[in-house]
Amino acid sequence: MLVKVAIDLALDRLFTYEVPEALREKLAVGQLLSVPFGHRTARGFAMEVAAGAIDSNRPYSLKPIDSIVDEKPFFSGKLLELVRALAAYTAAPVESVLKAAVPAAVVKPNARPKELYFVEPALGEFPVSLTKRQQWLYDQIARLGGGWMQQLCRELKTTPASLKELGRIGLVTVAPRQKRRDPLGGLRRILPTKPLPLNDEQKAALAAIESADKPVLLFGVTGSGKTEVYLQAIARELDAGRGAIVMVPEISLTPQTVRRFASRFGEKVAVLHSALSDGERYDEWHRIRSGAARVVVGPRSAVFAPVRDLGLIVVDEEHDQSYKQDDNPRYSARDAAVLRGRLEGARVVLGSATPSLESWMNVERGKYACAAMANRAGAGTLPDVRLVDMSDPKSGKQGGAIFSQELLDAIALRLDRHEQTILFLNRRGYSRSVTCAACGATVDCPDCSLPYTYHQADDCCRCHICGGWIPTPKVCPACGAPALQYKGIGTQRAEAALAKCFRNAHILRMDADSTSRKNSHDDILSAFRRGEADVLLGTQMIAKGLDFPNVTLVGVLNADSSLNMPDFRAAERTYQLLAQVAGRAGRAELPGEVIIQTYDPSAPAIVAAARGDFAAFAKDELSARKECYFPPYCHLACVNLRSKDMNVVAAWAEMYSKSLMKVKGLTVSEAVPSALEKAEGWYRWQVVVRAAAVSSIVRAWRWIVGERPPPAALRIAIDVDAYNLV
Ligand code: ADP
Ligand code: ZN
């Protein structure tokens, strides 16, 4: 009997071992094994078991495996199928997907928590000859109802030996017990919540989820009560003896989110996320595998949770970019959820107020069903949204052209009323488009209608889709003003300008700089919630999932900064951001107002976001995508290359680009330096490949890399269905 084992070396190959007689009965695929590897032992997963005899033509004999680490498989057959499919799709080694799928804390040797001794008072008759001290110890233990050996020793100032002696004479029982490390700790004690009576939209959504034979897009505005629908759909699965997985973006995996699930399902909930300690993760994972926990809440890796009899997978905020992993394996957890649902016959619900255009198109094509919820369920109404045209001289720009008079007046009103304001400024690091300070226009590639990216090193503007470039213009191509700028306004500058306009206002700033200290993210938000500041000014960090009852004004300082990103998803992201930011206002009794400043008040994404009309935006944007051959009308992969040697990376990028261009059915860009041209001493280049199917891109890429393997000085990676083109 032979077994093929995946060892965590990312060599993209399985190793074959023999199975010793004694282990043959017990061996199963998905188990964690210990195997000899070179001069050491390694751990790996059993991927295939073959009855076949050893090939007698082999010049050497196969080594036997050492042992089965855990007889219970880590992966069911279906989960292994999912892992293999994702590895094939993302062109990643299967080992890297396995690694992403199980927490390291569960696999590594000595991961099992130390067994601790628990001491409990025994029932029954006691021998008479106790010392005073023993009598006292027994009374204390009986009073406490028992406890952990270590803890009792500390509290009762005694030793393990004395407690064991009590055990020997039958006063207490001393037995090893696994102590559970519970990340939900105190959260479990909160009062259980009862299902709310659903409104009509929610009832229809729940019915659609129950009756669908395909994934359901739950398209519900912020606050429409999607979470309550998830909770009730999960409850029905639990009643039927099935389990569920709820995926949430890492950033919204806050105690509030977890509490909503824990207070409905208590002990049945397990949480998996990156902030857990190894011990907590170990215990939660084992509670899931053993079936003690039936509902798993977690970020993208939760899609691999070993839930048995899986009935439902919920992907909340399905459009969120964090579902795409930007490191190997570059899988999309949302797409993985859909695939797992299909493999295991589980329902899949994708929820969002601003669905991804990929999912929206799947609804239009009939691959997904759709349930819509257009109204808020609880308190609060959708806010009133206004656009301010910053290119209009009448907008009365102030504070270094950052604020319009209209926005300043609205802030002043809030200060008077002691209500709070959130100001939102979106600016992303190094990726720079060239914009005109006078008219707001960007300098665009005529072929792709996307902004060029400014490359400081050789002072030119390059298109990252087709590879075309122009020398950086001196004046704006649209209005002729010599006012081109390469940088957006930063939050610090905006904060300073605002402080000048309102000398008595308390302003809190939240961006990557102000939150680098651990916990400062939560500190800032709690301070704002407690009313310690009038204005919260921040980057996209503040756009998501936050609920502040006293916020009645949300201002977007420059809606165009995300619109002008050199990325074909710029409009989609702008819509999502604006819709989400707008969702922050007026969540409680106080009505909300949203003011969006823009140089481009007729941009479809901005107009549609102001009206909250997702369908109109999607229609417009999809037709633009179709015209330019962008996803979801094709699949796009980004080949990333890096080297410490500038010439090596450039020459190989060009070679790969030229080779890919020869493959029929692929649309391939020229090789270009990435927007982030150099990072940590590595020069970075990229090639963008588009095709109708991912498989044809991956096949061509694997073939070319096989023919022309990269030299040691070059690192290459392919990012299939890439989200990040910098
Ligand atoms: P979403 O997840 O769509 O943003 P939530 O589930 O957070 O919406 O619901 C928003 C608010 O509405 C919450 O405070 C929730 O308790 C309340 N809510 C949801 N469903 C109902 C209902 N059927 N009746 C009353 N209140 C509800
Ligand atoms: Zn172009």
Position 53 confidence tier, pLDDT thresholds 50, 70, 90: low
Position 662 confidence tier, pLDDT thresholds 50, 70, 90: very high
Residue 467 region, left (φ>0) first, then alpha (ψ -120 to 50), else beta?
left
User: What average pLDDT does the segment 482-505 reach?
Assistant: 80
Whether 223 lines ligand 1, by a CB cut-off of 6 Å, is yes
Ligand nearest to the CA of 466: 2
Please count the other Cβ atoms lying within 10 Å of the Cβ belonging to residue 696.
16
Which atom of ligand 1 is nearest to 228's Cα? Answer: 6
Whether 232 lines ligand 1, by a CB cut-off of 6 Å, is no
Give me ligand 1 centre to Cα 379, in Å. 8
User: What average pLDDT does the segment 629-653 reach?
Assistant: 95
Tell me if residue 670 falls in helix, strand or coil: coil
Position 129 confidence tier, pLDDT thresholds 50, 70, 90: confident
pTM above 0.75, yes or no: yes
d(CA 233, CA 314): 10
Which atom of ligand 1 is nearest to 202's Cα? Answer: 23
AA identity, residue 36:
P
d(CA 685, CA 693): 24
Position 116 confidence tier, pLDDT thresholds 50, 70, 90: confident
Percentage of the chain beyond pLDDT 70 is: 90
CB 154 within 8 A of CB 222: no
The answer on pLDDT for 486 being more than 60 is yes
Per-residue pLDDT, 519: 56
Give me ligand 1 centre to Cα 229, in Å. 9
Q: What value does the mean pLDDT of the chain take?
A: 87
Tell me if residue 449 falls in helix, strand or coil: coil
The answer on pLDDT for 614 being more than 70 is yes
- Tell me how far CA of residue 569 lies from CA of 436, 624, 629, 724, in angstroms: 21, 11, 13, 9
Position 392 confidence tier, pLDDT thresholds 50, 70, 90: confident
Numbers of helices and strands, H then E, in the chain: 21, 31
Token pair for 648: 């090596």
The answer on pLDDT for 496 being more than 90 is no
pLDDT tens digits along 282-324: 889 999 999 999 999 999 999 999 999 999 999 999 999 999 9
User: What average pLDDT does the segment 108-122 reach?
Assistant: 73
Whether 622 lines ligand 1, by a CB cut-off of 6 Å, is no
User: What average pLDDT does the segment 235-264 reach?
Assistant: 89
Q: Nearest to residue 293, comparing CAs of 225, 342, 345, 245?
A: 245
Q: Write out the E strands in 511-592.
A: 535-538, 551-556
CB 284 within 8 A of CB 290: no
The answer on pLDDT for 550 being more than 80 is yes
Ligand nearest to the CA of 450: 2
Per-residue pLDDT, 491: 72
Q: Which of 61-75, 563-577, 640-654, 711-725 has the lowest mean pLDDT?
A: 563-577
The answer on pLDDT for 429 being more than 70 is no
Residue to mutate (ligand 1; options 221, 227, 316, 589; most atoms within 8 A of CB): 227
The answer on pLDDT for 679 being more than 60 is yes
d(CA 470, CA 434): 12
**Backbone torsions φ then ψ of 148, nearest 5 degrees:** -70, 140
Whether 377 lines ligand 1, by a CB cut-off of 6 Å, is yes
Position 279 confidence tier, pLDDT thresholds 50, 70, 90: confident
d(CA 360, CA 370): 9
Position 169 confidence tier, pLDDT thresholds 50, 70, 90: confident
- Contacts for 21-28 with beta carbons within 8 Å, 24 or more apart? 23/65, 23/67, 23/68, 26/68, 26/71, 27/1, 27/3, 27/68, 28/71, 28/73
pLDDT tens digits along 141-157: 888 878 888 888 888 88
Position 589 confidence tier, pLDDT thresholds 50, 70, 90: low
Per-residue pLDDT, 432: 66
Residue to mutate (ligand 1; options 202, 228, 252, 546; most atoms within 8 A of CB): 228
Which atom of ligand 1 is nearest to 373's Cα? Answer: 3
d(CA 669, CA 690): 9
Per-residue pLDDT, 413: 94
Higher pLDDT, 192 or 348: 348
Per-residue pLDDT, 172: 87
Per-residue pLDDT, 124: 65
Ligand nearest to the CA of 469: 2
Give me ligand 1 centre to Cα 226, in Å. 7
Percentage of the chain beyond pLDDT 90 is: 50
User: What average pLDDT does the segment 532-561 reach?
Assistant: 82
Whether 228 lines ligand 1, by a CB cut-off of 6 Å, is yes
Place of tokens 């055990």: 167
Place of tokens 């495996």: 65
Whether 222 lines ligand 1, by a CB cut-off of 6 Å, is yes
Whether 354 lines ligand 1, by a CB cut-off of 6 Å, is no
Q: Indicate if the alpha-carbon torsion angle 576, 578, 581, 586 is positive or negative.
A: negative
Q: Which of 53-57, 200-204, 380-384 has the lowest mean pLDDT?
A: 53-57
Give me ligand 2 centre to Cα 319, in Å. 26
Which atom of ligand 1 is nearest to 222's Cα? Answer: 4
d(CA 715, CA 712): 8
Q: Which of 229-238, 381-390, 706-715 has the lowest mean pLDDT?
A: 381-390
The answer on pLDDT for 96 being more than 70 is yes
The answer on pLDDT for 448 being more than 90 is no
Per-residue pLDDT, 52: 66
Per-residue pLDDT, 119: 87
**Among protein residues, the one whose CA lies closest to atom 14 of ligand 1:** 378
Whether 226 lines ligand 1, by a CB cut-off of 6 Å, is yes
Give me ligand 1 centre to Cα 381, in Å. 12
Spell out the SS3 assignment of 479-546.
Answer: CCCCCEECCCCCHHHHHHHHHHHCCCCCEEEECCCCCCCCCHHHHHHHHHHCCCCCEEEECHHHHCCC
Ligand nearest to the CA of 232: 1
Per-residue pLDDT, 431: 47
Whether 196 lines ligand 1, by a CB cut-off of 6 Å, is yes
Per-residue pLDDT, 689: 97
Which DSSP helix (H) or strand (E) runs through 33? Answer: strand 32-37
Give me ligand 1 centre to Cα 88, in Å. 40
Whether 264 lines ligand 1, by a CB cut-off of 6 Å, is no
508 burial type by CB count under 10 A (0-12 exposed, 13-18 middle, 19+ buried): buried
pLDDT tens digits along 170-195: 888 888 776 666 777 666 566 678 89
Token pair for 239: 């009643």
d(CA 343, CA 658): 38
Place of tokens 């069903």: 369
Position 428 confidence tier, pLDDT thresholds 50, 70, 90: very low
Higher pLDDT, 197 or 522: 197
Give me ligand 1 centre to Cα 202, in Å. 10
